[in-house]
Structure 1
Amino acid sequence: MNVTLSMTIDQHEVLRHHLFPGDGLEAAALLLCGGSGHGDRYRLSVRDVVLLDHDKCKRLDDRISWPTDLIIPHLDHAEELGLSVVKVHCHPGNFPQFSEVDDVGDRELLPVVRSWVGADIPHGSIVMQPCGRLFGRYLWQADEMRSMDMISVAGPDIRLFPAKAHNRNSPFARSQDQAFGDGTTATLARLRAGIVGISGTGSPLLEQLIRLGFGEIVIIDPDTVEERNLNRILNSSVADARADRLKVDVAEAAAIATELPTKIIKVPSTLMSPAAIHSLSVCDVIFGCVDTHTGRFAMNLVSTYHIIPYFDVGVMLDAVGEGDAAGRIRDIFGTVHYIVPGRSSLISRDVISLRTVAQEGLAEADPQAEEQQVRDKYFRGLNVSRPAVISINMFAAALAVNDFLARVHSYRQMPNSDVGSIEFSLGQLRLTADEEQEDCALLRPWLGHGRISPLVGLPELSEARS
């Protein structure tokens, strides 16, 4: 089983300030985590950070203990909500592994936590080093503690702390690490990415992730290849269109043909399905290549509930609408939005609106009622742009992938905290970075909740209806 844990940069900073107050003594906290399991993966997402009072703990430079009644209320809370409990403490001396004292303490604490909470979920123990690095282990169904495969911190910089290093001696790794930083290939080989939409921007984005050496990639798309979209789907053919082959099948076959190690996990359904949400919920990063408000809203929810960095890719062609020049392109725009879970969202950035989400849902469920509401001017008529120029889509996809790489191994001159989104204009030859916007009051309360029922709080994703 691959068990990972994710937290936000804000949660990480709260922990770091508490665990290293400057006195050289150990300190401790508890993490109450939501979770989601799918296949052989389980992802813990930090919901609450509980700081254990320094004055109520017995603190030394190589160990820490506390009275049982200090944590009982939090164990009761975890039992009530079915949350995983993860102990965190520091090693002020920078000891890079669990100590013998830690082993004894975890063997006493974690079985008690498992029995107390009762649910069939993992519980764990994490150590933070002075540099902020984290490493951890978990206890689940057996009595043996196992290493967490990855601990990730989602912020303007994406910090990834894998349990083990992969062999990086291949020419593939050496040339890539030279460009983007030592260890890039080894880190990417541990990651699962999710791509929603495998057509215009999703197809070239998938190709790049495979060539970068991602370990696993979830691809979600319900549609089949058609002759009208052969001009923008890599590796597709006229034969695929005539055979009505699923886009995910074509993409998987092309990936297998490369003989590269990336594993493709295909989900031939819409994003608004339990199968798609489950697959995305255990990803380490997700990319949205969809053009509906509903799809973008759902991806923003997955990012929030499971603390997953989210890159949203959008392209728009500005064309003359009427007259002799009708159809002539005036400019080509695109934007890559990077969403840090718990901060701003596509809603607070005014990229999507809940009114349009509601309209799209009504259009699918009751087209006649939707038409009536448009006539009544309750909703404005939908106008979805679907650019179909491969050079534009590949440019946008590359921009998103390079933004991701810059956040894993920084290479930009400006700090990542100054780059909330990147907008381009090919007509004006302009590339502009916009700063992070204000936090989203609507989504922030659901940070780290993990899998709930209905999924990501949407009634249409009730598994009883699937």
Structure 2
Amino acid sequence: MNVTLSISVDQHDKLFDHLFPGDNLEAAALLLCGGAKHADRYRLSVREIILLDHDKCKRLDDRISWPTDLIVPHLDTAEALGLSVIKVHCHPGGHSAFSSDDDEGDGELLPIVRSWVAANLPHGSIVMLPSGRLFGRYLWQGHAMHNLDMISVAGPDIRFFPNVQRNTAAEPSFGASQDQAFGEGTTSTLAKLRAGIVGISGTGSPLLEQLVRLGFGEVVIVDPDHVEDRNLNRILNSSVADAQAARLKVDVAETAVLATGLPTRIIKMATTLMSAPAIHALSVCDVIFGCVDTHTGRFLTNLVSTYHTIPYFDIGVMLDAAVEGDDKGKILDIFGTVHYLVPGRSSLISRDVISLSTVAAEGLATSDPAAAAQQVRDKYIRGAVASRPAVITINMFAAALAANDFLARVHNYRQMPNADVASIEFSLGQLRLVADEEQEDCTLLRPWLGHGDIAPLLGLPELWEISQ
């Protein structure tokens, strides 16, 4: 089982401030975590942080202890809500491994937690170092503890802390040139990640090509549609034969990836996001890219990102054409935006990219596929008269912008702080590239940060039946 833990940057900062008060003594906290499982992956996401009072703990420079009654109320909460419990403490001296005292303490505490919560859930222990780095382990079935495969911090900078003790096969030689640009560590980390792409046409198609060539370990692709003749000028690796056979877009994409012989594994979801399998597959991803135009698709993707603390890149493009006069149909400008969403901060709703009224109008379930498809086309190309515009160049530009934004947050190469780049807007007509700063937190979604899988899925009544 591949078990990972995700935490938002704001939660990480809160922990750091508590664990390192400046006295060079160990300090501790508890994390109550939601969870999600898909196949052989389980993702823990931090829902609540309980800071253990310094004055009520026995704190030394190399160990810490506390009275049992200090954590009992929180174990009761975990039992009532079905949450995983993670003990976290610091090593102020920077020791980057569990000590013998840690082994003894975890060996006593974690079995008690497992018995108390009485649910088939992983519970664990993590250590924070003065650099902010995290490493950890968990207890699930049996008596053996296992290292967490990855701990990630979702913020303007995306930090991945993989299990460095796991033996991995040598990285494929195709990544050697990439190592020169982004470093061997980044390339090695990408091979351990699962990315999600919602919408594999338009911007999603060239994005998948890039993620595979970058060396991602797994990519989940979600798209219910089949290839049509009008798609052939925008979907990489699609053919006339695919359109004639009405092959599913996800099947065409998987076939192309398999043909490369590269190690990326594709997980296909030939469905909309309004399905339990698609939501579960995305909920254990390390990063999600949204490549859909509907408000509903973007809203659901934003929810998955929030509930499971997953960094989310939303990609949108628009061709603006004259709607009347002698220039009717003439392209006036080409716009696009890559929005980066830090879980627990602003959302596509608070940024006015989508509206709940439009989500309601779309009905969350497409009752009229033909009308819905036309609506997407009307949004995608405002006022254009051509039924099959050649937009692959624009889609590839926008997809590359999103992929490079992700890389900048993992391996910072920009000359401005990532905290100053919440979205990137481009105008090809004006040859303009503009970064916008973060906006206010979304009061609607923030309370659901790290809740993991709940019933109904994503807290939506419409998903109650299919989540059972």
- Asked if residue 254 in structure 1 is aligned to residue 256 in structure 2, the reply is yes
Alignment partner of 1:408 out of 383, 407, 410? 410
Question: Does structure 1 retain, via aligned residues, the 8 Å contact 2:288–2:310?
Answer: yes
Match of 2:113 in 1: 113
Are 2:66 and 1:66 equivalent residues in the alignment? yes
Match of 1:351 among 350, 353, 356: 353
Match of 2:330 in 1: 328
- Scaled by the length of structure 1, the TM-score of the pair is 0.95
How far the C-alpha of 1:362 sits from its partner, in A, is: 7.3
Question: Matches of residues 242-281 of structure 1 in structure 2 within 5 Å?
Answer: 242-281=244-283
CA distance in structure 1 between the aligned counterparts of 2:254 and 2:171, rounded to whole angstroms: 27
Partner of 1:44: 44
SS at match of 1:315: strand
1:381/1:283 Cα in 2 relative to 1: closer, same or farther (>3 Å)? closer
Q: Mapping of 1:177-192 within 5 angstroms?
A: 177-192=179-194
Structure 2: where are the runs of 5+ without partners? 382-388
Query: What is the deviation of 1:180?
Result: 2.0
Quickly say closer, same or farther: Cα 1:326–1:363, change in 2 above 3 A: farther
Q: CA RMSD in A?
A: 1.9
Which stretches of structure 1, 4 residues or more, deviate above 3 A after TM superposition? 165-171, 362-367, 380-383, 463-466
What displacement does 1:458 show?
A: 1.3
Q: Tell me by how many angstroms 1:32 deviates.
A: 0.3
Q: In structure 2, give the amino acid aligned to 1:116.
A: W
1:181 deviation in Å?
3.1
Percent of aligned pairs with the same residue? 76
Q: Distance in 2 between matches of 1:106 and 1:424?
A: 51
Q: CA 1:169 to 1:364, structure 2 compared with 1: closer, same or farther past 3 Å?
A: closer
Answer whether contact 2:137 2:147 (CA < 8 A) is retained: yes
Gaps of 5+ in 1: 372-379
Aligned-partner residue type, residue 463 of structure 2: L
Are positions 1:337 and 2:339 aligned together?
yes
* Structure-2 separation of matches of 1:20 and 1:4: 24
- In structure 1, the residue matched to 2:75 is 75
3-state SS of paired residue (1:332): strand
Cα deviations across residues 98-130 of structure 1 (Å, max 9, x unaligned)? 111101100100000000001111000000011
Q: Is the 8 A contact 1:417 1:435 kept in 2?
A: yes
SS at match of 1:428: coil
Amino acid in structure 1 at the alignment position of 2:256: A
Aligned to 2:288: 286
Q: Distance in 2 between matches of 1:324 and 1:238?
A: 35
Q: Distance in 2 between matches of 1:278 and 1:213?
A: 23
Distance in 1 of aligned mates of 2:284 and 2:147: 17
The secondary structure found in structure 2 opposite 1:135 is strand
The amino acid of 1:384's aligned partner reads K
Distance 1:416 1:220 in 2: 28
Q: Deviations over 1:111-166 (max 9, x none)?
A: 00000001111000000011000000000011100000000000000000000275
The 3-state SS of whatever aligns with 1:331 is strand
1:182 Cα deviation from its structure 2 partner: 3.8
Aligned to 1:376: none
Q: Give the letter for the 1:16 counterpart.
A: F
**Contact persistence 2:78–2:117 (CA under 8 A):** yes
- 1:355 maps to a residue whose letter is S
Q: 1:245 to 1:381 in 2, by over 3 A?
A: closer
Match of 2:461 in 1: 459
Are the equivalent residues in 2 in contact too, given 1:335–1:422 (CA < 8 A)? yes
Equivalent residues of 2:63, 2:101 under 8 A apart: yes
Any residues of structure 2 matched to 1:129-208 within 5 Å, and which? 129-164=129-164, 166=168, 171-208=173-210
